[in-house]
Amino acid sequence: MAWPRSVVVLAVLLSVLTGCTAPPPSPTPSDPPPAESAAATPLPSVDATPSAGPTPRVDPAPSAPSASAGASSWPAYVSTRYGFRIGHPPGWRLEPSQRAWTMEVDAADWDSIAHESFWSPDGDVRVSAWAVPFRGEASLLAVERWAQQLCHESGNSDCATIGERAVRLCSDRRACHPGLLVPFNTDVQAFFVGGPDADRMTVVAVWRPADWSSDRNGSARDLLAAFLSTMDVRPLA
């Protein structure tokens, strides 16, 4: 039996539709890439605050040696003229005094033969010590006035401001008699009363400006403090 033409065309179309599957559409450039599984590529762990590793070691700056470091082992000299005992660095040359010191004759003479003097081995530094009779109250004000008098008589500078720039000293740590360490333009001097002869004013001087220094001896101020420490005289803490 012959089928109508329309039926034959419909059958052909149905066979085509049931036997073929259309391929999935290709992604366009605007489509996002497919997401990967979280389990396949785990994310690295990141702390909110990174751990601070070991702290870098910083060595402290070397501290300067004490002014009196080593002075306790210095050779000692006893002045038979002035009655005090004072140490000096090893190798320094001693020039003993030849007569007693007086304000009228010796105040302006830094190289007076009335000084007990100590010279560094290279002859670059001279330290002097001497003493004079002292009558009156052993007070800080009395020491300051005496230092001002010597300052004027010697022609030194800034005599009126000695009390403002001086460092207070303690002579004999148990009794702590008053004293002053005073820097001047050309030297640095110490004045103190007390000790074995309470009726004397003792003076120790380094004939270099206070800020002068050398590798061997340190600053003039430190050198003076070292000499003073051998006489049991120290800056007042």
Per DSSP, the residues of 86-99 read EE--TTPEEE--SS
Q: Cα–Cα distances in Å, from 205 out to 64, 107, 111, 191?
A: 23, 12, 11, 9
- Record the tokens describing residue 107, joined without a space: 């105040």
Using pLDDT thresholds of 50, 70 and 90, give the confidence band for residue 196. low
**Least confident piece of the model among 1-10, 55-64, 129-138, 196-205:** 55-64
Q: What is the pLDDT of residue 174?
A: 86
CA distance 237 to 204: 20
pLDDT of 60-70, one tens digit each?
A: 333 334 456 68
**Least confident piece of the model among 9-18, 57-66, 155-164:** 57-66
| Structural domains present in the chain | 76-235 (3.40.1000)
Question: Is pLDDT at 13 greater than 50 in this prediction?
Answer: no
Question: Is pLDDT at 197 greater than 80 in this prediction?
Answer: no
Question: Is pLDDT at 95 greater than 70 in this prediction?
Answer: yes
| Beta bridge partners of residue 130, listed in sequence order | 203
Using pLDDT thresholds of 50, 70 and 90, give the confidence band for residue 138. confident
Q: What is the CA radius of gyration of the chain?
A: 47
Q: What is the pLDDT of residue 20?
A: 44
Q: What is the pLDDT of residue 195?
A: 62
Question: Is pLDDT at 59 greater than 50 in this prediction?
Answer: no
- What is this structure's pTM? 0.71
